[in-house]
Chain A
Amino acid sequence: NAGVTQTPKFQVLKTGQSMTLQCAQDMNHNSMYWYRQDPGMGLRLIYYSASEGTTDKGEVPNGYNVSRLNKREFSLRLESAAPSQTSVYFCASSESSVLGASLKHFGDGTRLSIL
Chain B
Amino acid sequence: EDQVTQSPEALRLQEGESSSLNCSYTVSGLRGLFWYRQDPGKGPEFLFTLYSAGEEKEKERLKATLTKKESFLHITAPKPEDSATYLCAVQAPGYSTLTFGKGTMLLVSP
Does any Cβ of A come within 8 Å of B49's Cβ? Answer: yes
Which listed residue (A45, A97, A108) contacts B43, Cβ 8 A? A108
Interchain nearest-CB distance for B51 vs A (Å): 7
Binds B, one of A14-22, A61-69, A72-80, A98-106: A98-106
Contacts of B34 in A (CB 8 A): 102-103
Contact A43 B97 (CB under 8 A): no
Chain A contact residue count (CB 8 A cutoff): 27
Does any Cβ of A come within 8 Å of B86's Cβ? Answer: no
Contact A90 B51 (CB under 8 A): no
On whether A97 and B96 interact (CB within 8 A), knowing A40-B102, A103-B34, the answer reads: yes
Contacts of A48 in B (CB 8 A): 96-97
On whether A98 and B96 interact (CB within 8 A), knowing A104-B46, A106-B43, A108-B41, the answer reads: yes
B interface, how many residues as a size bin?
A: 20 to 34
For B36-65 the 0/1 string (1 means CB < 8 A from A) is: 000001111110010100000000000000
Which listed residue (B32, B49, B97, B100) contacts A42, Cβ 8 A? B100
Contacts of B31 in A (CB 8 A): 99
Q: Which chain A residue has the least Cβ–Cβ distance from B93?
A: A99
**Assembly CA distance A80 to B32 (angstroms):** 36
Contacts of B87 in A (CB 8 A): 42-43
Does any Cβ of B come within 8 Å of A58's Cβ? Answer: yes
Which listed residue (A4, A35, A41) contacts B102, Cβ 8 A? A41
Interchain nearest-CB distance for B92 vs A (Å): 11
Interchain nearest-CB distance for A33 vs B (Å): 7
**Assembly CA distance A109 to B38 (angstroms):** 12
Contact B43 A42 (CB under 8 A): no
Contact B44 A45 (CB under 8 A): no
**Assembly CA distance A108 to B34 (angstroms):** 19
**Assembly CA distance A31 to B45 (angstroms):** 17
- Taking Cβ atoms with an 8 Å cutoff, the residues of B that contact A are 4, 31-32, 34, 41-46, 49, 51, 87, 89, 91, 96-103
- Taking Cβ atoms with an 8 Å cutoff, the residues of A that contact B are 4, 31, 33, 35, 40-45, 48, 50, 58, 90, 92, 97-100, 102-109
